[in-house]
Amino acid sequence: MDIRRLEEAPGDLGGLDGKTALVRVDFNLPRSDDGAIADDTRLRAALPTIRFLRERGAAVILLSHFGRPKAAPDPALSLAFVADPLAAALGAPVRFLDRADGRPDGVIPGDVLVLENTRFLPGETENDPSLAEELARLGDLFVMDAFSVAHRANASTAGLADHLPTYAGLSMERELDHIAQALDHPKTPVMAIVGGAKVSTKIGLLENLVEKLDRLAIGGGMANTFLLAKGVDVGRSLAEAHLIGKAADILKAAARHNCEIILPVDVVTATKFEAGAETQVRGRDGVKPGEMVLDVGPDTVGELMDAMDKSNTLIWNGPLGAFETPPFDTSTIEAAKYAARLCRADKIVAVAGGGDTVAALNAAGVAEDFTFVSTAGGAFLEWMEGKRLPGVQIVTRGSA
Catalytic sites, residue numbers: 42, 198, 355, 378
Among the residue ranges 86-94, 137-145, 218-226, 347-355, the one whose residues contact Mg ion (CB under 5 A): 347-355
Residue 294 interacts, among ligand ADP, Mg ion, none and using kind-specific CB cut-offs from 5 to 8 Å, with ligand ADP
Give burial (CB, 10 Å; 0-12/13-18/19+) of 209: buried
Of the pair 6, 218, the CB lying nearest Mg ion is at 218
Selected from 220, 297, 390, 391, the binder of ligand ADP by CB under 6 A is 220
Nearest approach in angstroms of CB 352 to Mg ion is: 13
Provide the 10 A C-beta neighbour count for residue 345.
Answer: 8
* Nearest-angstrom CA–CA distance, 281 and 328: 12
356 binds ligand ADP (CB under 6 A): yes
Query: DSSP assignment, residue 135?
Result: H
169 binds ligand ADP (CB under 6 A): no
Chain positions 232 to 261 lying near ligand ADP, rule: CB under 6 A, are 238
Chain positions 293 to 332 lying near ligand ADP, rule: CB under 6 A, are 293-294, 317-319, 321-324
85 binds Mg ion (CB under 5 A): no
378 binds Mg ion (CB under 5 A): no
Selected from 186, 196, 390, 391, the binder of ligand ADP by CB under 6 A is 196
SS3 111: coil
Residues 6 or more apart whose Cβ sits within 8 Å of residue 171: 45, 46, 48, 49, 145, 146, 147
The DSSP element (H or E) to which 354 belongs, if any, is none
355 binds ligand ADP (CB under 6 A): yes
Q: Torsion angle of alpha carbons 126, 130, 132, 137, nearest 10°?
A: -160
Strand-strand pairing, 266-270 and 280-283: antiparallel
The DSSP element (H or E) to which 256 belongs, if any, is helix 244-256
* Nearest-angstrom CA–CA distance, 215 and 205: 14
Cα 37 from chain centre: 20
Selected from 85, 355, 378, 386, the binder of Mg ion by CB under 5 A is 355
266 binds Mg ion (CB under 5 A): no
DSSP assignment of 151-172 equals: TS--TTTTGGGGTS-EEE-HHH
116 binds ligand ADP (CB under 6 A): no
Nearest approach in angstroms of CB 198 to ligand ADP is: 7
Nearest approach in angstroms of CB 393 to ligand ADP is: 23
Nearest approach in angstroms of CB 359 to ligand ADP is: 8
Residue 357 interacts, among Mg ion, ligand ADP, none and using kind-specific CB cut-offs from 5 to 8 Å, with ligand ADP
Q: Are the beta carbons of 292 and 270 closer than 8 angstroms?
A: yes
264 binds ligand ADP (CB under 6 A): no
Of the pair 28, 317, the CB lying nearest ligand ADP is at 317
Chain positions 106 to 125 lying near Mg ion, rule: CB under 5 A, are none
Find, among 252, 265, 243, 150, the residue nearest to 207 by Cα.
252
Among the residue ranges 4-12, 76-84, 237-245, 355-363, the one whose residues contact Mg ion (CB under 5 A): 355-363
* Nearest-angstrom CA–CA distance, 239 and 221: 7
Q: Report the interface residues with Mg ion, using CB under 5 A.
A: 355-356
Q: Report the interface residues with ligand ADP, using CB under 6 A.
A: 195-197, 201, 220-221, 238, 293-294, 317-319, 321-324, 354-357
